[in-house]
């Protein structure tokens, strides 16, 4: 996950910055857009094809200023929860009321 993206960055601009060094190393990219305000929401998701590519990506992108728009924001990269067990952990820890029967089920 890439955080603190200036709102004026478009998907095309962000992908151009990523592709300078990492073209062909990822298989998924998503930059959520606020269509009402016609700008991004400040974060994006990227999935690297191999774990070894993550190290280089973090070295290049984590804790650096954005080059365009004279932004004071500092880039931040963080891992996302992946896998079935992580998904279950995330869902179980949410502050959403669960039916009592859910907790009483045998494992």
Does residue 63 fall inside a structural domain? yes
Looking at 1-107, list the stretches that DSSP marks H as alpha helix, in order from N- to C-terminal side.
11-22, 52-61, 84-93, 100-104
3 state SS of 100: helix
Number of domains in the chain: 1
Does residue 23 fall inside a structural domain? yes
pLDDT at 70: 81
Residues of the chain with pLDDT below 50 are 84-85, 87, 102
Does residue 86 fall inside a structural domain? no
Domain extent, residue 33, equals 2-80
Residues in Cβ contact with 67 at an 8 Å cutoff, skipping those fewer than 6 apart: 17
pLDDT at 84: 47
- The CATH number of whichever domain residue 39 belongs to comes to 3.30.70.330
Does residue 40 fall inside a structural domain? yes
pLDDT at 61: 86
User: pTM value?
Assistant: 0.70
């Amino acid at each position: 996950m890439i955080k603190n993206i200036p709102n004026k960055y478009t998907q095309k601009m962000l992908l151009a910055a990523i592709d300078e060094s990492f073209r062909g190393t990822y298989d998924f990219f998503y930059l959520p857009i606020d269509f009402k305000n016609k700008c991004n929401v400040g974060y994006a998701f990227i999935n690297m094809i191999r774990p070894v590519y993550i190290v280089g990506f973090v070295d290049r992108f984590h804790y650096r200023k954005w080059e365009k728009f004279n932004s004071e924001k500092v880039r931040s990269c963080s891992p996302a929860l992946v896998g079935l067990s992580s998904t279950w952990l995330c869902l179980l820890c949410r502050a959403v009321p669960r039916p009592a029967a859910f907790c009483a089920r045998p494992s």
